[in-house]
Amino acid sequence: MANEEAFSPSAQPLKLQNHKSASNNKAMFTWIIIAIIVLFVGGWLCFCFRRKLCAKFRSYKNKKQKGKLEVEKMTVRRFGLEELKKATNNFSQSCLVGSGAFGNVYRGTFDVEGSLAIKTPHAESYTSTEEFRNEVRLLSKVKHNNLVRLMGFCEETGPETAKILVYEYVTNGSLLDYIIGRSGICLTWRERVMIAIGAAKGIAHLHEGISPSIIHRDIKPSNILIGEGFEAKVSDFGLVRCGPIGDQSHVSSQIKGTPGYLDPAYCSSFHLTPFTDVYSFGVILLQLVTARPAVESTRSNTKSHIIDWARPSIENASIEDILDVNLLTQECNIEMMLKMGEIALRCVEKVPKERPTMSQVWQELEAALNKVDNLLTKKPLEEDSQRLTTLNMVDNFLPKQPLEEESQRLITKTNHAMNHRIRRSSTNHDYSHSIVSEDGIGLQRFHVDIDSLSFQSTSLRCLETSISIDEDVGVSR
């Protein structure tokens, strides 16, 4: 029976059906695994592709909208090109106030802002729109009383492209105008010191008051403007560059700047540091003292730098030999000018790290000026104190009690004898007075030497003019 069931015709299809079902399940399981792998790989590829695509899209979107977004963050105004044309009469020559290697500067008049300085760069000044935007973003952080403030910018694309910077307008020209005498005004020694202190504070703010720091790279007299109160304002940030960040000691850069003010260490190494600006400022300090150009051609057709020319006199403390002749014709504090020259020589040391920082420069200048002011204030006080001491000495020698009648008569007789001497010696400042003794026996003589002194003592009301008595007077009862 068992064998009959095993070999029965009805059992054979059931076995084949079970085998076929197992094969189908195995195939289905295999396809599920393959599908999972495909989905996983496809999902991973899709994720990577999407991430990359989104990153590119965001970068493109940010790049396209960067100008607008930065304006919102920087709180500077975006000017239209037509607005700037109207303010400058279509950039006419009558509105041109300056021109340099970077571009032209025009004075624009606006209904709300008043006068502003509009700087139009040359076509080659910016290599790309992004470079222009980076500078706008960088300069928008600059807010200091001794730095010219960026008020806004103009960026236009299309048929009429424009990359224009708009600054506050500074009224009294540049320091160069005063050094070369173009303004017709000679700066006093105090004004020169105050301008140096203000400019140093502005540059120090660029180096230390902003993160990342800014290196100006073109410090020179024409880039130091003079405000209404004769305060210094550093301008022309066309060559600014971000300074070292973190542990960096320098940044590498192409050599840019003005001959005569360029740091030799920067020219030889291409290493740009804040001390590059310190060197340039040292040259300006020498120019404030001497009113000479940074580089001057001599009769032998050789060029003499102001550092080489001024160094011997400063080191020998003979500042008068190189001092601006205009300062010699007016009151001038020689010690302060010498101090400025000494600081200048420290600023132009060959090794950059041996130079002071800009903060140290303005602090030393300010400390020296305060010392001078204290001495000037102390001197009149000492003179007044000396006068008071002399007056007290005179009053101590005078009788404190009213004289007796006989002594009063003695004074009357003596006055008659002195009348002719009073008229003759009215301009003499060597006072001589006689003291009468209580018993009327004789006169004791003493002299009081006082320069330009006006007696206010009630005991000397009889002496309305300067008196000098050369003879001894004897009196007897």
Provide the annotated binding site for ATP. Answer: 119
Please, what is the end-to-end C-alpha distance for the chain in angstroms? 189
Place of tokens 């070999």: 7
Q: How far apart are CA 18 and CA 24, in angstroms?
A: 10
Beta strands in 316-452 (DSSP E): 430-436, 443-449
- Residue 247 is a catalytic residue: no
Residues contacting 455, CB < 8 A, separation 6+: 391, 394, 463
Active-site entry in 111, 177, 218, 449 = 218
Structure tokens at 261: 């003010």
Residues contacting 358, CB < 8 A, separation 6+: 200, 201, 203, 204, 207, 208, 274, 277, 278, 281
Q: How far apart are CA 315 and CA 279, in angstroms?
A: 18
Which amino acid makes up residue 396? N
Structure tokens at 461: 């009301």
Q: Identify the CA nearest to 285 among candidates 354, 326, 334, 338.
A: 338
Length of the chain: 477
Annotated catalytic residues are 218
